[in-house]
Amino acid sequence: MSQKLQNIWSFICRHKYIITSLFFVATIGFMGDGSVLQRVLNQWKLVKLQNEINNYQSQFNRDSRELNILNRNPKMLEKIAREKYFMKDSLEDIYVFEDDIKQQDNKN
């Protein structure tokens, strides 16, 4: 038993700088909030959130343009109500096909 401990101790003494360096690299790379692994994961989340921001910004711009058009033109409001929400005039009959509903759902 003591021979094994002497062999282990002599190995540690011979390679103490390598072992210390590996321990340091493992600590910095994989443990804690400031680790390299955590930074890579945070960077990936940041890119994903930035893409979401861009998508929401483009959707906001598109909706803002549509709102401006609707505020300026009451005929467009009627057109949107008829096409998007399947509204009708009192003297009209309206027929909605399943394909129309599926296409409308796919647009949204």
Please tell me the distance from the alpha carbon of residue 51 to that of residue 36, in angstroms, as a whole number: 23
- The confidence score (pLDDT) of residue 53 equals 98
Query: What is the tens place of the pLDDT at every residue in 61-100?
Result: 999 998 888 888 888 877 777 777 777 777 777 676 777 6
Delimit the domains of the chain by residue range: 1-31
The total of other beta-carbon atoms located within 10 Å of residue 69's CB is 12
pLDDT tens-digit readout, 1-39:
688 888 888 988 898 899 899 988 888 777 777 788 888
Find the helix packing angle between 16-30 and 2-14, rounded to 10°.
80
Q: Which pLDDT score is estimated for 105? A: 64
**What's the token pair of residue 13?**
């003494």
Q: Is the dihedral of CA 27, 28, 29, 31 positive or negative?
A: positive
